[in-house]
Amino acid sequence: MTAGGRVAVVTGGGAGIGRAIAERLADDGFKVAVIDIDAAATDDTASSIGKAGGTARAYRADVSDRGQVDSALAAIRTDLGPVAVVVANAAIARQQPFLDMTAEQWDRTLAINLTGTFNVVQSALSDLVGAGWGRVVLISSSSAQRGAPRMAHYAASKGGQMGLAKALAVEFAKAGVTVNTVAPSSIDTPSVRKKRETGAIPSAEEMAKFIPVGRTGTGEDIAAAVSYLVSDEASYVTGQTVSVNGGSFIG
Protein backbone atom coordinates (compact mmCIF):
# COMPACT_ATOMS: atom_id res chain seq x y z
CA MET A 1 0.00 0.00 0.00
CA THR A 2 1.44 3.35 -1.01
CA ALA A 3 -0.79 6.16 0.24
CA GLY A 4 2.35 8.33 0.29
CA GLY A 5 0.60 11.41 1.67
CA ARG A 6 -2.10 11.40 -1.01
CA VAL A 7 -5.22 13.37 -0.15
CA ALA A 8 -8.42 11.42 0.59
CA VAL A 9 -11.80 13.13 0.93
CA VAL A 10 -14.37 11.32 3.08
CA THR A 11 -17.92 12.70 3.25
CA GLY A 12 -20.09 12.02 6.28
CA GLY A 13 -16.86 11.45 8.19
CA GLY A 14 -18.22 12.91 11.41
CA ALA A 15 -19.84 9.67 12.58
CA GLY A 16 -20.26 5.94 12.14
CA ILE A 17 -18.89 4.30 9.01
CA GLY A 18 -17.47 7.56 7.60
CA ARG A 19 -15.50 8.18 10.75
CA ALA A 20 -14.09 4.63 10.70
CA ILE A 21 -13.10 5.11 7.03
CA ALA A 22 -11.40 8.46 7.80
CA GLU A 23 -9.46 6.89 10.67
CA ARG A 24 -8.41 3.89 8.59
CA LEU A 25 -7.24 5.97 5.62
CA ALA A 26 -5.24 8.21 7.98
CA ASP A 27 -3.64 5.06 9.45
CA ASP A 28 -2.85 3.99 5.88
CA GLY A 29 -0.92 7.26 5.37
CA PHE A 30 -3.44 9.44 3.54
CA LYS A 31 -3.97 13.10 4.41
CA VAL A 32 -7.70 12.99 5.15
CA ALA A 33 -10.22 15.75 4.48
CA VAL A 34 -13.34 15.06 6.53
CA ILE A 35 -16.50 16.65 5.16
CA ASP A 36 -19.73 16.60 7.18
CA ILE A 37 -22.81 18.76 7.73
CA ASP A 38 -22.19 18.45 11.49
CA ALA A 39 -19.27 20.81 12.23
CA ALA A 40 -18.63 19.57 15.79
CA ALA A 41 -18.58 15.92 14.70
CA THR A 42 -16.23 16.70 11.79
CA ASP A 43 -13.87 18.58 14.10
CA ASP A 44 -13.93 15.69 16.55
CA THR A 45 -12.96 13.12 13.89
CA ALA A 46 -10.14 15.31 12.57
CA SER A 47 -8.74 16.12 16.01
CA SER A 48 -8.88 12.50 17.14
CA ILE A 49 -6.95 11.47 14.00
CA GLY A 50 -4.42 14.23 14.73
CA LYS A 51 -3.97 13.02 18.32
CA ALA A 52 -3.37 9.50 17.01
CA GLY A 53 -0.53 10.85 14.82
CA GLY A 54 -2.37 11.13 11.50
CA THR A 55 -3.12 14.11 9.27
CA ALA A 56 -6.73 15.26 8.95
CA ARG A 57 -8.65 18.50 8.42
CA ALA A 58 -12.34 19.19 9.01
CA TYR A 59 -14.66 20.89 6.51
CA ARG A 60 -18.31 21.64 7.22
CA ALA A 61 -20.52 21.26 4.14
CA ASP A 62 -23.92 19.96 3.16
CA VAL A 63 -23.16 17.61 0.25
CA SER A 64 -26.52 18.41 -1.38
CA ASP A 65 -25.40 22.04 -1.81
CA ARG A 66 -23.02 22.30 -4.79
CA GLY A 67 -21.70 25.70 -3.72
CA GLN A 68 -20.73 24.40 -0.26
CA VAL A 69 -19.09 21.31 -1.80
CA ASP A 70 -17.08 23.39 -4.29
CA SER A 71 -15.95 25.74 -1.48
CA ALA A 72 -14.88 22.79 0.67
CA LEU A 73 -12.94 21.26 -2.22
CA ALA A 74 -11.20 24.59 -2.92
CA ALA A 75 -10.18 24.83 0.75
CA ILE A 76 -8.97 21.21 0.74
CA ARG A 77 -6.73 21.86 -2.29
CA THR A 78 -5.26 24.92 -0.58
CA ASP A 79 -4.75 23.19 2.80
CA LEU A 80 -3.72 19.68 1.76
CA GLY A 81 -3.14 19.59 -2.02
CA PRO A 82 -4.92 17.96 -4.97
CA VAL A 83 -7.40 15.21 -4.21
CA ALA A 84 -6.50 11.59 -5.09
CA VAL A 85 -9.26 9.62 -3.35
CA VAL A 86 -12.99 10.35 -2.91
CA VAL A 87 -15.16 8.31 -0.57
CA ALA A 88 -18.81 9.40 -0.88
CA ASN A 89 -20.38 8.13 2.33
CA ALA A 90 -22.69 10.91 3.59
CA ALA A 91 -26.34 9.87 3.53
CA ILE A 92 -29.63 9.93 5.34
CA ALA A 93 -31.69 6.77 5.86
CA ARG A 94 -35.23 7.72 6.82
CA GLN A 95 -38.12 5.26 7.05
CA GLN A 96 -41.46 6.12 5.47
CA PRO A 97 -44.22 3.90 4.05
CA PHE A 98 -44.21 4.44 0.28
CA LEU A 99 -47.86 5.47 0.02
CA ASP A 100 -47.30 8.21 2.65
CA MET A 101 -44.00 9.42 1.18
CA THR A 102 -44.12 13.05 0.12
CA ALA A 103 -42.31 14.44 -2.89
CA GLU A 104 -40.25 16.55 -0.46
CA GLN A 105 -39.10 13.46 1.47
CA TRP A 106 -38.23 11.70 -1.80
CA ASP A 107 -36.35 14.75 -3.11
CA ARG A 108 -34.37 15.32 0.11
CA THR A 109 -33.12 11.72 0.24
CA LEU A 110 -32.13 11.79 -3.44
CA ALA A 111 -30.55 15.25 -3.01
CA ILE A 112 -28.21 14.10 -0.22
CA ASN A 113 -27.55 10.47 -1.11
CA LEU A 114 -27.33 10.61 -4.92
CA THR A 115 -26.92 14.25 -6.00
CA GLY A 116 -24.60 14.72 -3.01
CA THR A 117 -22.47 11.90 -4.41
CA PHE A 118 -22.52 13.51 -7.89
CA ASN A 119 -21.54 16.88 -6.35
CA VAL A 120 -18.48 15.69 -4.46
CA VAL A 121 -17.24 13.31 -7.16
CA GLN A 122 -17.63 15.82 -9.99
CA SER A 123 -16.09 18.62 -7.94
CA ALA A 124 -12.98 16.55 -7.15
CA LEU A 125 -12.55 14.45 -10.28
CA SER A 126 -10.41 16.84 -12.34
CA ASP A 127 -7.63 16.39 -9.74
CA LEU A 128 -7.69 12.61 -10.12
CA VAL A 129 -7.76 12.77 -13.93
CA GLY A 130 -5.01 15.41 -13.95
CA ALA A 131 -2.75 13.14 -11.88
CA GLY A 132 -3.53 10.07 -14.00
CA TRP A 133 -4.32 8.20 -10.78
CA GLY A 134 -7.39 8.21 -8.61
CA ARG A 135 -9.80 6.15 -6.57
CA VAL A 136 -13.52 6.76 -6.05
CA VAL A 137 -15.54 4.64 -3.64
CA LEU A 138 -19.28 5.15 -3.19
CA ILE A 139 -20.82 3.76 -0.01
CA SER A 140 -24.07 2.24 -1.22
CA SER A 141 -26.25 -0.29 0.63
CA SER A 142 -27.62 -3.82 0.54
CA SER A 143 -31.04 -2.17 0.30
CA ALA A 144 -30.28 -1.53 -3.39
CA GLN A 145 -29.52 -5.23 -3.88
CA ARG A 146 -32.60 -6.74 -2.25
CA GLY A 147 -34.94 -3.90 -1.32
CA ALA A 148 -35.92 -2.45 2.05
CA PRO A 149 -39.51 -1.87 3.20
CA ARG A 150 -40.45 1.75 3.99
CA MET A 151 -37.19 2.91 2.40
CA ALA A 152 -38.03 3.24 -1.30
CA HIS A 153 -36.37 6.66 -1.56
CA TYR A 154 -33.24 5.38 0.19
CA ALA A 155 -33.02 2.14 -1.85
CA ALA A 156 -33.51 4.09 -5.09
CA SER A 157 -30.75 6.55 -4.15
CA LYS A 158 -28.38 3.70 -3.28
CA GLY A 159 -29.14 1.88 -6.55
CA GLY A 160 -28.45 5.15 -8.33
CA GLN A 161 -24.97 5.19 -6.79
CA MET A 162 -24.30 1.74 -8.25
CA GLY A 163 -25.29 2.86 -11.75
CA LEU A 164 -23.25 6.03 -11.37
CA ALA A 165 -20.18 4.02 -10.32
CA LYS A 166 -20.45 1.71 -13.33
CA ALA A 167 -20.83 4.63 -15.75
CA LEU A 168 -17.85 6.50 -14.29
CA ALA A 169 -15.75 3.33 -14.11
CA VAL A 170 -15.89 2.91 -17.89
CA GLU A 171 -15.71 6.63 -18.65
CA PHE A 172 -12.53 7.15 -16.60
CA ALA A 173 -10.82 3.73 -16.81
CA LYS A 174 -8.18 4.97 -19.26
CA ALA A 175 -7.52 7.98 -17.02
CA GLY A 176 -6.21 5.74 -14.23
CA VAL A 177 -9.25 6.32 -12.04
CA THR A 178 -11.16 3.38 -10.57
CA VAL A 179 -14.73 3.73 -9.33
CA ASN A 180 -16.35 1.10 -7.10
CA THR A 181 -19.14 0.79 -4.58
CA VAL A 182 -19.22 -0.87 -1.19
CA ALA A 183 -22.59 -2.25 -0.11
CA PRO A 184 -22.77 -2.58 3.67
CA SER A 185 -25.52 -4.34 5.58
CA SER A 186 -26.39 -4.26 9.31
CA ILE A 187 -23.47 -2.14 10.49
CA ASP A 188 -23.52 -1.10 14.13
CA THR A 189 -23.24 2.72 14.10
CA PRO A 190 -24.61 5.37 16.48
CA SER A 191 -27.48 6.23 14.09
CA VAL A 192 -28.47 2.55 13.84
CA ARG A 193 -28.32 2.19 17.62
CA LYS A 194 -30.63 5.22 17.94
CA LYS A 195 -33.16 3.51 15.62
CA ARG A 196 -32.93 0.36 17.75
CA GLU A 197 -33.70 2.35 20.90
CA THR A 198 -36.96 3.60 19.34
CA GLY A 199 -37.88 0.05 18.24
CA ALA A 200 -37.77 1.03 14.54
CA ILE A 201 -35.40 -1.87 13.81
CA PRO A 202 -34.63 -5.14 15.70
CA SER A 203 -31.85 -5.43 18.32
CA ALA A 204 -28.30 -6.38 17.29
CA GLU A 205 -28.79 -9.81 18.91
CA GLU A 206 -32.00 -10.39 16.95
CA MET A 207 -30.38 -9.31 13.67
CA ALA A 208 -27.29 -11.46 14.30
CA LYS A 209 -29.49 -14.57 14.18
CA PHE A 210 -30.13 -13.91 10.47
CA ILE A 211 -26.53 -13.03 9.53
CA PRO A 212 -24.47 -16.11 8.53
CA VAL A 213 -21.31 -15.00 10.38
CA GLY A 214 -23.41 -14.54 13.52
CA ARG A 215 -22.78 -10.86 14.27
CA THR A 216 -23.60 -7.39 13.02
CA GLY A 217 -20.84 -5.46 11.20
CA THR A 218 -18.64 -2.59 12.32
CA GLY A 219 -17.42 0.60 10.69
CA GLU A 220 -13.99 -1.01 10.65
CA ASP A 221 -15.32 -3.88 8.48
CA ILE A 222 -16.36 -1.31 5.86
CA ALA A 223 -13.16 0.72 6.27
CA ALA A 224 -11.06 -2.38 5.54
CA ALA A 225 -12.83 -2.87 2.19
CA VAL A 226 -12.37 0.81 1.33
CA SER A 227 -8.69 0.62 2.29
CA TYR A 228 -8.18 -2.13 -0.31
CA LEU A 229 -10.19 -0.40 -3.05
CA VAL A 230 -8.19 2.85 -2.73
CA SER A 231 -4.82 1.07 -2.73
CA ASP A 232 -2.42 0.78 -5.66
CA GLU A 233 -3.02 -2.97 -5.65
CA ALA A 234 -6.68 -2.50 -6.62
CA SER A 235 -5.93 -0.93 -10.01
CA TYR A 236 -7.61 -3.82 -11.92
CA VAL A 237 -10.83 -3.59 -9.88
CA THR A 238 -13.34 -1.08 -11.21
CA GLY A 239 -17.08 -0.82 -11.68
CA GLN A 240 -17.60 -3.42 -8.95
CA THR A 241 -19.72 -3.68 -5.83
CA VAL A 242 -18.03 -5.16 -2.78
CA SER A 243 -20.77 -6.46 -0.48
CA VAL A 244 -19.69 -6.34 3.17
CA ASN A 245 -22.60 -8.08 4.83
CA GLY A 246 -21.50 -11.09 6.89
CA GLY A 247 -22.71 -13.49 4.20
CA SER A 248 -26.26 -12.12 4.01
CA PHE A 249 -28.14 -11.79 0.73
CA ILE A 250 -25.78 -13.95 -1.33
CA GLY A 251 -26.96 -14.44 -4.91
Ligand X SMILES: NC(=O)c1ccc[n+]([C@@H]2O[C@H](COP(=O)([O-])OP(=O)(O)OC[C@H]3O[C@@H](n4cnc5c(N)ncnc54)[C@H](O)[C@@H]3O)[C@@H](O)[C@H]2O)c1
- The residues annotated with a catalytic role in the active site are 154
23 binds ligand X (CB under 6 A): no
Interacting span for ligand X (CB under 6 A) from 76-84, 96-104, 126-134, 179-187 = 179-187
Q: State the nearest-atom distance from the C-beta of 32 to ligand X, in Å.
A: 14
36 binds ligand X (CB under 6 A): yes
64 binds ligand X (CB under 6 A): yes
Is the distance from CB of 64 to CB of 112 less than 8 angstroms? yes
- How many CB atoms are located within 10 Å of the residue 210 CB? 11
246 binds ligand X (CB under 6 A): no
Q: State the nearest-atom distance from the C-beta of 175 to ligand X, in Å.
A: 25
Interacting residue with ligand X among 134, 160, 184, 246 (CB under 6 A): 184
21 binds ligand X (CB under 6 A): no
Partners of 108 in the β-ladder: none
123 binds ligand X (CB under 6 A): no
Pairing of strands 55-60, 31-36: parallel
Given the complex with ligand X, which of 107 and 130 has the nearer CB atom?
A: 107
Taking the C-alpha atoms of residue 96 and residue 151, their distance in angstroms, rounded to an integer, is 6
Q: For residue 86, give every residue at least 6 positions away whose Cβ sits within 8 Å of its Cβ, in sequence order, or none.
A: 8, 9, 120, 121, 124, 125, 128, 134, 135, 136, 137
Taking the C-alpha atoms of residue 236 and residue 121, their distance in angstroms, rounded to an integer, is 20
Alpha helices in the chain (DSSP H): 16-27, 39-51, 66-79, 103-110, 116-131, 143-146, 152-171, 190-197, 204-208, 219-229
221 binds ligand X (CB under 6 A): no
Using CB under 6 A, which residues numbered 93 to 112 contact ligand X? 93, 112
Q: State the nearest-atom distance from the C-beta of 5 to ligand X, in Å.
A: 25
5 binds ligand X (CB under 6 A): no
Q: State the nearest-atom distance from the C-beta of 246 to ligand X, in Å.
A: 11
152-171 and 103-110 helices cross at what angle (nearest 10)?
30
Q: State the nearest-atom distance from the C-beta of 173 to ligand X, in Å.
A: 24
Interacting span for ligand X (CB under 6 A) from 51-59, 71-79, 178-186, 230-238 = 178-186
63 binds ligand X (CB under 6 A): yes
**What are the CA-CA distances from residue 42 to residues 2, 7, 10 (Å)?**
26, 17, 10
The binding site for ligand X (CB under 6 A) comprises 11-12, 14-18, 36-38, 41, 62-64, 89-93, 112, 116, 139, 141-142, 184-187, 189-192
